[in-house]
Structure 1
Amino acid sequence: MQRVINEVEEKLRAGDSKLTPRREHILRVLLENKDKHLSAEEIYNLVKQKAPDVGLATVYRTLELFLDFDIIHSIDFGDGRKRYEFGGERGEGHHHHHLVCTSCGKIIEVNEDLLEDLEKQVTEAYNFTITDHELKFFGYCKECAVKED
């Protein structure tokens, strides 16, 4: 984790920003919950447990800063709240997709890039350079599907 924190610190410093202690608390929460898609309020509640002096406004400003520096991604799953996930540069490397349960709200990551062939077709057919994509499937998770039957 410390290696990633140092990398983020260098990235911010290169862009004339700093990794303040409050920002580091927020970053640590994101890193400790890499497998989750947390809202700003959820991040705030987790940060408050370790750093009670961090306010909600600080969390929002820090998330915007991290978005600007491509340290995190924001995703809207159709519930009216932005969710955040830690990740590398947008448009580079491996893409992943999400399955969203419309009953319980569970979010499951699909770690295969399902759109690679489609991207190539679109690029060739429309002479369009794709830099990123996002795919969300909505339905019922295994547990909720059993309840629906």
Structure 2
Amino acid sequence: MDTNNILKLKELKVTKARKEILEIFLEKKDTSLNAEEIFSICRRSGENINLSTVYRTLDIFLEKEILDKFILENGVSVYKIHKKTHKHILECDICHKEVEVPCPLKQIEEIVREKTGFTLTEHSLKMKGVCDNCKK
């Protein structure tokens, strides 16, 4: 999928800066990049993008789940393309109906980073319970 389609699917205005920054991440695939690295790549390719534009674009891409953000031990934030495989499932003990739930671990990830210096690269969570239909 090209950058125009990705931005439109996420209901974002297609701008030259957004396209350029998204193309960098799509080319680098699983590489984590910080804002300054993205800014440097843009400059080397001849794009006239301000560092503040890079930061604003990264924030928008985070909000729209185009990118994921990780904070390194030294406090530097790095970004990668969002992996769509991140899911949390709630399963009924009786009928085994499964419901996807939003990630409840974002605050826990931050606490882990603050207390241990670790940046979590993945996690899993399995919750079980009884759905409304089976309670009846």
Given that residues 12 and 18 in structure 1 are in contact (C-alpha distance below 8 angstroms), is that contact kept between their aligned partners in structure 2? no
Instruction: Give the total of aligned pairs.
Output: 97
Residues 1-39 of structure 1 show CA distances to partners (whole Å, capped at 9, x for unaligned) of xx14143122233xxx31201111111111111121111
Are 1:23 and 2:15 matched, yes or no?
A: no
1:43 deviates by: 0.8
**Superposed CA RMSD:** 2.4
Alpha carbons of 1:78 and 1:90: their partners in 2 closer, same or farther (altered >3 Å)? farther
Q: Using the TM superposition, name which of 78-87 and 47-56 deviates more.
A: 47-56
Distance 1:47 1:56 in 2: 10
Distance 1:51 1:23 in 2: 15
1:9 maps to which of 2, 7, 13: 7
- Residue number in structure 1 paired with 2:48: 53
Given that residues 42 and 48 in structure 2 are in contact (C-alpha distance below 8 angstroms), is that contact kept between their aligned partners in structure 1? no
Unaligned 5+ residue runs, structure 2?
A: 89-120, 130-136
- Residue number in structure 2 paired with 1:66: 61
Unaligned 5+ residue runs, structure 1?
A: 94-109, 128-149
Over 3 Å off, 4+ runs: 88-93
- Percent identity, aligned pairs only, is 29
Given that residues 9 and 19 in structure 1 are in contact (C-alpha distance below 8 angstroms), is that contact kept between their aligned partners in structure 2? yes
- Residue number in structure 2 paired with 1:81: 76
